Structure formats: C-alpha cells, structure tokens
C-alpha cells in the first residue's frame, strides 16, 4: 500500500495521504433513521463546531475522563515506557494528539506515527509535537484505519515493533461486536509482536456518569443539538431544534450511557430527500459510551486475540490503561 507524501520546505513533518474515501453520509442517515430505534453514527457529531464544543465538554468539571487519563499517563509514563520497550508508537484516531506527550518524553529513542482521517488535524497536531519534541521522528497518515489492510510502507514502520496507542476510552462509542472487530483490526495492523495501550473508562456511580454527559452548563446538550444543525446544512434537513431536548441516561443492562435527542411532539422531518416521522417522546440516539470493568474489558479483548499484560489505574479506580499483547 502506498500514498502520496505531502512535502515542502514549509512543512516540519511528513504527512502521508492515503486519500480515504468520503463516507456516504446520506446512506448512513437513511440506514440509521430506518432502524427500529433511530440512531446515527457518533462521528456525525464532529463537524468544526461539534469538535469545538467537545473540547469545551472536556473542560467541564463533571467530565473527568480527560483530566484523569492525562494525569494517569503523566504519573505512570516511566512504568508504561518500561513495559512497552522500544518501537514505533502508532496512535489510532490521533485527533489533537495531546495525550501522547508523556510517552514520547519517557520512551527511549521514540518514533511516532499518528493515524487520523482529517489531514488538517494531523498536520496541526504533528507540527505542534515536532516543535515540542524536535528529536522525535514523526509521521502523520491520513486514513480510515478501520478500512486499512495494512500499515503503509515507510521507514518508521519497517523493521520495528509497533506499539499501538488508543486513549480516551473511545472504544466505548462502539457497540460490543463493533468494538471486538476494531480490536481485531488493531491486532492485524500492528502485526506480529505488536502491543496496544488502550484507555478504558470504568463503571461508577450513576449520578456521576449521567452528570458527566449532561453537564450543568449545557455544553453536552449544545453538542448534541449541533448534530441537527449539521444535518439541516449538509443534507437539506428541516429539523426544528426547539422541538427536541437532550437526554443522557445510564442503561444498566448494556453498561453504557445513552445520549439522545428526544422529540417533544409528533412531527415530520425532511432529511436526505425523504420524510421521517418522530412520535412524541421518540429518541434519536446520537451516541453511546460503554463503561467496562477491567474483567469485562479483558474478556472482550481476548475475543479479539489479545491478552492483558499490564494495567494502570487512577487512585479512585475510575479509568484504566491496559497494555495488551497478542495472545498467540
């Protein structure tokens, strides 16, 4: 597999663009709204305004995941680096790549490869890291890693162990079967001997969980409602934002938080060239966030060919960093 290298004297880092195919947003909307319980892919939330609002969510006092994981990485960086050993750190869905810094500081002779579907975000994140760690070789790969058959040929990825990194408890946004498939995909991409360091949010008091996803300042609600603005803009939708209210609730049988926009009345909405009916009280699920106990997560990981090697947790037991190695 090969891509086109984006080069030029003005660029401090290399960006390899594999030209990921754009998603068929219209078909995904039709599929999602045709389900018995209407649900859209969580990534629809992240247009430019959605990304800005999510950054604000991470700063709310109720949403402790980001601060907890960042502090855990900083505190345990030396131990994690010792357990990882040498190799190239490969971050999946790097985004702003802000959590990798403690590992790059602690690893001996690190190299870093960031995978993300947004070339713009990759360039910004990698350039910032290059300024912070000028001695670290850095490569950005613009791709949809869920669709890759293998990592591309590149000196940073040849003849070295691959150390996967997937922070943020992002696995929780996937339904169990899809989460297992994603872990299996990471195993294939990292190859024989590859390891995976992954952040997993754990169950806690229901009041804390629901507050984390429905903050007092209303940022989470604004984040969800922005989805309707995006659909109106990008797919000629006719959503009345005032006709929906935001809800976040813990669903015990699935061990996840379910976030939804709930129709306040019976209504018809035009979207993607079709008409869709919403009953009063009917929910449009915007995302879910599963919480795994260490035992439940390791069982899921084992079903994808991984086994637990090390685990680090914050003092309150809110979040774990698991180091996985391949089971065979």
For the stretch 130-159, pLDDT in tens is: 999 999 999 999 999 999 999 999 999 998
pLDDT score, position 92:
97
Evaluate if residue 7 carries a pLDDT over 90. no
Delimiting residues of CATH 3.40.50.150 domain(s) in the chain? 4-21+62-204+292-326
CA 314 to chain centre: 20
Q: How confident is the model at residue 12 (pLDDT cuts 50, 70, 90)?
A: low
Across 11-15, 79-83, 203-207, 300-304, least confident range: 11-15
Who contacts 237 (Cβ-Cβ below 8 Å, separation ≥6)?
A: 228, 231, 269, 270, 271, 272
198 phi/psi in degrees, rounded to 5? -135, 135
Q: What's the count of helices (H) and strands (E) in the chain, helices before strands?
A: 9, 14
Evaluate if residue 307 carries a pLDDT over 80. yes
Q: How confident is the model at residue 70 (pLDDT cuts 50, 70, 90)?
A: very high
pLDDT score, position 2:
35
Evaluate if residue 100 carries a pLDDT over 80. yes
Name the burial class of residue 112, with classes exposed (0-12), middle (13-18) and buried (19+) by CB atoms within 10 angstroms of its CB.
Answer: buried
Evaluate if residue 3 carries a pLDDT over 80. no
Evaluate if residue 315 carries a pLDDT over 90. yes
pTM of the model: 0.93
Q: What percent of the chain has pLDDT over 70?
A: 96
Q: How confident is the model at residue 209 (pLDDT cuts 50, 70, 90)?
A: very high
Q: How many CB atoms lie within 10 A of CB 5?
A: 11
314 phi/psi in degrees, rounded to 5? -75, 165
Mean pLDDT of 186-203: 97
Average pLDDT of every residue of the chain? 94
Evaluate if residue 121 carries a pLDDT over 90. no
Architecture in CATH of 4-21+62-204+292-326: 3-Layer(aba) Sandwich (3.40)
Evaluate if residue 50 carries a pLDDT over 70. yes
């Amino acid at each position: 597999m090969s891509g086109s290298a984006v080069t030029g004297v003005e660029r401090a880092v290399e960006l390899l663009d594999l030209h990921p195919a754009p998603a068929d947003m219209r078909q995904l909307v039709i599929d999602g709204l045709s389900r018995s319980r209407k649900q859209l892919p969580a990534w629809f939330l992240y247009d430019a305004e959605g990304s800005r609002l999510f950054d604000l969510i991470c700063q709310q006092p109720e949403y402790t995941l980001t601060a907890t994981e960042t502090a855990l990485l900083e505190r345990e960086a030396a131990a994690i680096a010792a357990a990882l050993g040498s190799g190239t750190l490969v971050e999946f869905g790097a985004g702003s790549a802000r959590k990798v810094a403690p590992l790059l500081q602690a690893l001996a002779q690190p190299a870093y490869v960031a995978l993300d579907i947004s070339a713009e975000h990759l360039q910004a994140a990698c350039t910032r890291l290059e300024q912070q760690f000028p001695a670290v070789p850095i490569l950005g790969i613009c791709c949809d890693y869920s669709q890759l058959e293998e990592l591309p040929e590149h000196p940073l990825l040849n003849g070295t162990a691959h150390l996967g990194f997937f922070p943020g408890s992002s696995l929780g946004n996937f339904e169990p079967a899809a989460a297992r498939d994603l872990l299996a995909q990471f195993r294939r991409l990292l190859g024989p001997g590859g390891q995976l360091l992954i952040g997993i949010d754990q169950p806690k008091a229901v009041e804390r969980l629901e507050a984390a996803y429905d903050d007092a300042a209303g940022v989470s609600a604004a984040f969800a409602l922005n989805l309707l603005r995006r659909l109106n803009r990008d797919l000629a939708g006719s959503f009345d934002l005032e006709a929906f209210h935001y809800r976040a609730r813990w669903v015990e049988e699935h061990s996840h938080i379910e976030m939804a926009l709930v129709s306040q009345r019976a209504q018809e909405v035009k979207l993607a060239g079709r008409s869709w009916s919403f009953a009063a009280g009917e929910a449009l699920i915007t995302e879910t966030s599963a919480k795994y106990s260490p035992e439940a997560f390791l069982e899921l990981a084992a079903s994808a060919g991984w086994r637990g090697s090390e685990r680090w947790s914050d003092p309150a037991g809110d979040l774990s960093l698991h180091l996985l190695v391949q089971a065979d």
